[in-house]
Structures are given as structure tokens and as C-alpha cells.
Amino acid sequence: MIRCKMSLKSRMTKCRRHLRSVLLFIYFSLLGFALFNYKSHCVYTMPDALLQMSQIGHSSEGKCKINIAELDEVKVDIFSEPSEKEIQAINPEVKKGGVYSPKKCQAWQKVAIIIPYRDRYHFLMILLNRLLPMLQRQQLNFRIFVVEQAGDKQFNRGKLMNVGYLEALKFDKFDCFVFQDADLLPETDKNLYMCDPHARHLASAINEMRYHVMYYNYAGGVIALNRENYHRINGYSNSYWGWGNEDDDFSARILESGLLLTRPPEHIGRYKMVRHKKQTRSDHGNEMFLGWRSRWMTDGLSDPDGMNYTRLQLEELPLYTHVKVDIGDPPAQMRLGNPDELVSLWWFLKFYFP
């Protein structure tokens, strides 16, 4: 009996040793993979760099002087829902349509804020209550677009972004487009809502992700691109119905086109997420992402079928420009891409673990 107990204990000890060895091997393999495949696609830059780059080739005469040091962190309330009238009262300078421009100087960039939306009025009011004062303190010339998907079919965030971009250009020749999720609130005014010559991922530290990016090439939440670069990458994919993967597809387009993914440092790119129940994931989202490269140039702004939509309502409300659209139904068969052009497992690993 004693011998059996000794034997069992011995086997357990050996198992623990083997398990420890296997885990160490996996850890150092992943570490080595990351070190040997690291590429600096993502660059952290201070907000001042956005102002410096905006000044290249342009006169600063009459332009707004933005003092980053005077912009502060703000205590963000994700629970209280202000009314539209309350938000109007504290933002008297904001005009109909969610439009603002500084009176005493000329903004460096004309910015369109595009918010994809459906059935989240509570989130929208909390966001506008935070964004409108911040954007004014940043002395931006801006208009806020809320692009609402009609009906109850699966949400298509990517297509709504593309629709918002096209609808915004009917109002003005904006320099910069900020694509903003309704459930994310910036925690500091120092995080300038401006574009650089690349793709500016503003949400570099979200509280739900312990104030880190979810993974190296993550490009979700809030991101800013200028007109030329948005056309260069063909906008978002129109093919992802449901939650997830459209951000990965978008990030892959950015990197493949030769653009950097720039971010503010984590202490500046901080966001709080309004708590909510997650939406259903995209049908075949992972399989579709593996075929992103074969669809890239035909699935986006350039796709006449995918970009087919009907504008049901256009109204300049006191706090924002409301665009309600029917974007159709999900196709019976998803566009998974050409089987011969799927990205390899090696590419997939490098994307998530560069």
C-alpha cells in the first residue's frame, strides 16, 4: 500500500515536471517568434506631432494655436444619461447638424466624425455629452454624423462607415474622417481628433482591455484617416454582417497599403467603454478574414453592389446630422474570397503575434 502511494506521488511529480517543460517551450517559442518577426507597423506618437505635420507646407497665419498642456483629463461618467436639451445648454456654440468652427482662428483640419448606430440612444447621448465640449476645446472645425442602420438585420458596421464617408462628402470637402464607436468615451482632451499622413488609431488603451490594445495590429474603436488614405485602402469591407473581424480586415488593408498604424501613448489614448451586451458575432467572420486579400480591391468603396443603399432620412438635428439608411439584407452566401488566395497560417500568426 505504501509502495503504491509512493509510486503515485512519483508519477504526479514527473507529470508536473513535463508540463512545466512543455509550457516553458511554448512560451519561449512564442517569444522567439515575436522577436524574429517583429515589424514596426505600429508607431506611438504624441498629439503634438499631428499639429507639426499639419503645418508642413502651410502657413500658420490665422490658424488656431492649440496648447496641448492646457488640455486636461476629464472624469468620464458612463452611467448618467443627459437629455438633448441639457447637452445643448452646455454647448451653445454648436450649430444645427452638430457643426462647429472656431470664431477667432482657423482650424488646421476640417473633421467629420462618423458614428455607426442602431438602438443605442442611451450611448449616443453619453458620447455626445463628452465629445462636443472636447472637440471645441481642441479648436476643430467639425460636423458629427450619426449613420443609422434601418431594420433588424445583422448590424454591418463596416458598410455604415463607408456610407457615412460618402454622405459626409456631400456636405463638405473634409480633410479628416474619424470613425467612432458609440460606446467609447475618451478620457483626456489631449487625444486630438485629427489625422496624420497614415492611419491614426486613437483608442490605444480601453478600460475593458485593461488599458492596452487587444493585440498589436488592432484598429478598432476609434480611428482617423484622411480622404486620400481612405480611398487608397478602399474603405471598410462591406461583407461582415454581425460583430467582429471588420476591424481586422481594415487593419490588414492599412498595413498592406504601406501605411503605418500610429497611436497616441496609452496614457493619452485612454477610453472607457459603456457597458452593454455584446452583439452576435459575424457569420463566418474568421473564414472571411482569411480571404481578405482576394476581396480587398473589390470589396469596399469601389464595389457598386456592396455600396448599394437607400437613404431613408437626412436631418440636421441640434447635436448631430442624422443619416438613416437601408443597406439591404445579408447575402445568402458570404464572400469568403478565392480559395487559392487565402492568407497562410504563417501570415495569420504574424498579424496577431508580430
Amino acid 8: pLDDT: 67
Pairing of strands 110-117, 176-180: parallel
Retrieve residue 263's grid coordinates: 497611436
Given a cut of 90, whether residue 345 has pLDDT beyond it is: no
The answer as to whether 29 is a domain residue is: no
> Residue 150: pLDDT band by 50, 70, 90 thresholds?
very high
Cell numbers 497611436 label which residue? 263
The answer as to whether 192 is a domain residue is: yes
For 62, phi then psi, to 5°, come to 80, -5
Q: Model-level pTM? A: 0.87
Q: Which residues have CB under 8 Å from 40's CB, separation 6+?
A: none
DSSP-derived secondary structure letter, 300 = S
Written in H, E and C, the secondary structure of 101-121 is CCCCCECCCEEEEEEEECCCH
The answer as to whether 89 is a domain residue is: yes
CB-CB neighbours of 82 under 10 Å: 16
| 88 CA to centre of own chain | 27
Per-residue pLDDT tens over the stretch 228-240: 999 999 999 999 9
Can you tell me the mean pLDDT for 314-333? 95
The answer as to whether 25 is a domain residue is: no
The answer as to whether 19 is a domain residue is: no
What CATH number does residue 202 fall under?
3.90.550.10
Pairing of strands 176-180, 261-263: unpaired
Polymer length of the chain? 354
Number of independent structural domains in the chain: 1
Domain that holds residue 228: 41-352
Rounded distance, CA 249 to CA 291, Å? Answer: 9
* Winning range, highest mean pLDDT, from 31-35, 40-44, 55-59, 142-146: 142-146
181 and 259 in contact (C-beta within 8 Å)?
Answer: no
The answer as to whether 263 is a domain residue is: yes
The answer as to whether 11 is a domain residue is: no
Rounded distance, CA 17 to CA 241, Å? Answer: 46
For 345, phi then psi, to 5°, come to -60, -35
User: How many Cα atoms occupy the beta-carbon half-sphere of 88 within 13 Å?
Assistant: 10
102 and 139 in contact (C-beta within 8 Å)?
Answer: yes
240 and 158 in contact (C-beta within 8 Å)?
Answer: yes
Rounded distance, CA 117 to CA 190, Å? Answer: 26
Per-residue pLDDT tens over the stretch 92-111: 999 999 999 999 999 999 99
CB-CB neighbours of 48 under 10 Å: 13
For 30, phi then psi, to 5°, come to -65, -40
CB-CB neighbours of 293 under 10 Å: 18
Give the closest residue to 246 by CA, choosing from 344, 135, 153, 334.
334
The answer as to whether 7 is a domain residue is: no
